[in-house]
A and B are shown apart, each in its own frame.
Chain A
Amino acid sequence: MPVSKSFVFINRKAPYGTIYALEALEVVLIAGAFELQVKLIFMDDGVYQLTRNQNPTGIGMKNFSKTFGALGDYDVEQIFVDHESLNLRGLDATDLQPLIHGTTDGVERPSIKIVPRSELGDIIEGADVLLNF
């Protein structure tokens, strides 16, 4: 491919109820494998995708939330969560599963950053390719 581009994926839907969250994650992993600059945004009900201790067995669904743990291995290291969306749902950082990525100095760093909505605008504006799920 001649040029590299930055991709921003916006995840707005709950992890279960529709397939969008699962199929978005499948695209994100492929984008990561292409070694592109990839940023993820979780907002609205999308923040539920990152919650810890998900157990959807009662509704007959596969718990795919563990796959988020692989994002760091695919160099997907910049994950932004909308503070307002968390707040509206009574959630905070302690409700989210910890996602980490390795760095060149061998230290593991957290990938998730909780940001105000105003900051999301800048991230979206900086994207070459924007995909909304």
Chain B
Amino acid sequence: MKFTIQINTGPYTHQASDTAYQFTRAALKAGHSIHRIFFYHDGVNNSSMFSTPPRDDRNIQQLWSTLAEQHSLDMVVCAAAAQRRGILDQKEAVRHGKSAANIAPNFTISGLGQLIEAAVVSDRLLVFGD
């Protein structure tokens, strides 16, 4: 089955991103395909590479980046939601005169059309978080 995963809550406060990660891993292991992972609302905060949890805790952003690297996952962060919450790629950082970009490897900033397209072509859209 072809899944698209939508994540609406940020890391750590809620477990939704962890659960989405575990689901994605399990689905891939079971032979399913993941069309796209779409980060919306506070979910965009999962893509900040400035996140620095204690060493003995999981680093959710790195977990996602690594999983995407291993399985060539298409991880899209909503542009409008990201800009509001201070998630910027290099191009956007320059455009808005910010001193740094913080989007982590294997995340891409793109539009909401990517969510709609994914929902249309996938067998299931699964939403994690509020």
A residues apposed to B, CB below 8 Å: 1-5, 7, 19-20, 23, 26-27, 30-31, 33-34, 36, 129, 131-132
Q: Which residues of B contact A (CB under 8 A)?
A: 40-41, 80-81, 84, 111-113, 115-117, 119-121, 125, 127, 130
B111: A residues at CB distance < 8 A: 30
**A91 → chain B closest CB, angstroms:** 24
Q: How far is the CB of A71 from chain B (nearest CB, A)?
A: 15
Query: Are the C-beta atoms of A1 and B127 separated by less than 8 Å?
Result: no
- When distances are taken between beta carbons in the complex, the residues of chain B under 8 Å from A31 are 116
Contact partner, A2, options B115, B121, B130, Cβ 8 Å: B121
- A23 B120 Cβ-Cβ under 8 A: no
Q: Assuming the A-B contacts A1-B121, A20-B130, are A30 and B41 also in contact, with contact meaning beta carbons closer than 8 angstroms in the complex?
A: no
Q: Is the pair A132, B113 in contact by a Cβ cutoff of 8 Å?
A: no
Which of B81, B120, B127 contacts A132, CB < 8 Å?
B127
Q: Which residues of A contact B81 (CB under 8 A)?
A: 23
Of the candidates A4, A7, A26, A129, the one having the most CB atoms from chain B within 10 angstroms of its own CB is A129
Point out the residues of chain A lying under 8 angstroms from B127, CB to CB: 131-132
Q: Known: A26-B112, A31-B116, A34-B116. Contact between A20 and B121, CB under 8 A?
A: no
B113 touches A34 (CB 8 A): yes
CB contacts (< 8 Å) of A131 on chain B: these are 119, 125, 127
B41 A19 Cβ-Cβ under 8 A:
yes
Q: How far is the CB of A81 from the nearest CB of chain B, in Å?
A: 22
Contact A4 to B120, CB < 8 A, known contacts A20-B41, A23-B81, A132-B127: yes
Closest 7 CB pairs of A and B: A30-B112, A129-B119, A1-B120, A31-B116, A5-B120, A34-B116, A27-B112
